[in-house]
Amino acid sequence: MAIKDIRLFGDPVLRTPAAEVVDFDKELRVLVKDLEDTMLDAPGAGLAAPQLGVGLRVFTYCVDDVVGHLVNPVLDLSDEQQEGPEGCLSVPGVTADTKRALSVVAKGQNMYGEPVLLEGTQLLARAVQHETDHLDGILFVDRLDPEARKAAMRAIREAEWFGEPPPLVKVSPHATFGLGM
């Protein structure tokens, strides 16, 4: 079990768009396992690679006791909307009603590079959209109306964890090709 530190609001990696995965190798499978282990330990409904400091387009999810992952997601969103409470493991203790599409069809790949089609509504649709936003450098607070965003930002500034130094990152002696793995 590899539980990793989750990057918190204010860490620049959370605002940086992630790179498309091109190598479906052992390192990617280790990353997916680390994401799953960390997400389940937290616990959360999803976790994206940038939240572990890795700039790759990969996320995991756990909705209704179904654990899965998606690599290089492309979303097709419904026009019908839902609004409901949303939080984030990178913004602990802060939740707000957030508008999202009611349903989603996500196309991508699994950790072996095989095609995946993921369809979901309600919480699964919310989780897939939330995690895909992370891959684009977007946080749920960016989707709030101005009043709710102001309240969320106030709660972030007042949180115990806000302003803490980011976790120490150990540099690998192996080539990472700039991907932070």
Tokens matching residue 127: 């989780």
Q: Give the DSSP H or E segment for 66.
A: strand 66-77
Q: Is the peptide bond before 43 cis (omega within 30 degrees of 0)?
A: yes
Alpha carbons 87 and 51: distance in angstroms, whole number: 14
Q: Which of 80, 114, 131, 164 is catalytic?
A: 131
Is residue 158 annotated as a catalytic residue, yes or no? no
> Count of H helices and E strands in the chain?
3, 7
What are residue 150's DSSP bridge partners?
none
Any idea which residues carry the catalytic annotation?
131
